[in-house]
Amino acid sequence: MSTGAIVAIIILVVMIGILVALYFAGKKMQKRQDENNAMLQANKQYVSMLIIDKKRMKIKDAGLPQAVIDQTPKALRGSKMPIVKAKIGPQIMSLICDEKIFEDVPVKKEVKAAVSGIYILEVKGLHGKTTTEKVEKKGLRAWVDKLQEKAGAKPIK
């Protein structure tokens, strides 16, 4: 066998080993995530709250309790998380929102939310519809769409 074929076989074996390791690591992480979701669903409570503000912030700048910041893995402390500032009863709190529903959370509206600890799982409107304001596109794509509308063409989606 030539050295090129031997090198190719070694690279192939290493890549297969990496793929197998990633498969089992992903399976383990999925199991852990399912357990956490089941725990969150078991502990959820419905609370009426007034949403004051929502934004993506670093966890150390969000105004969360120090115990929460200490329990967060160091790798995630620098990343931005969806934070919602809400008034629950007479108290104003900072809560972490689920990434899936963050865009649907209305600002300056009273909502009924499923909360587990400081984590918002779902949001339902309490008074009227909970429609979020339409976010205007920015950048090159918005500019191209405006030009196409002026020319009479249909914008690309």
Q: What is the pLDDT of residues 28-40, one digit of tens each?
A: 999 999 999 899 9
Do residues 58 and 79 touch, judged by C-beta distance below 8 A?
yes
Between 81 and 131, where is the model more confident? Answer: 81
Range scoring the smallest mean pLDDT among 29-38, 50-59, 97-106, 129-138: 129-138
Nearest to 50 by CA among 93, 15, 80, 18: 93
Quote the pTM value. Answer: 0.64
Do residues 111 and 123 touch, judged by C-beta distance below 8 A?
yes
- Is the Cα dihedral 112, 116, 117, 120 positive or negative? negative
Query: Could you give the count of Cα atoms lying within 13 Å of 77 in the half-sphere of its Cβ?
Result: 10
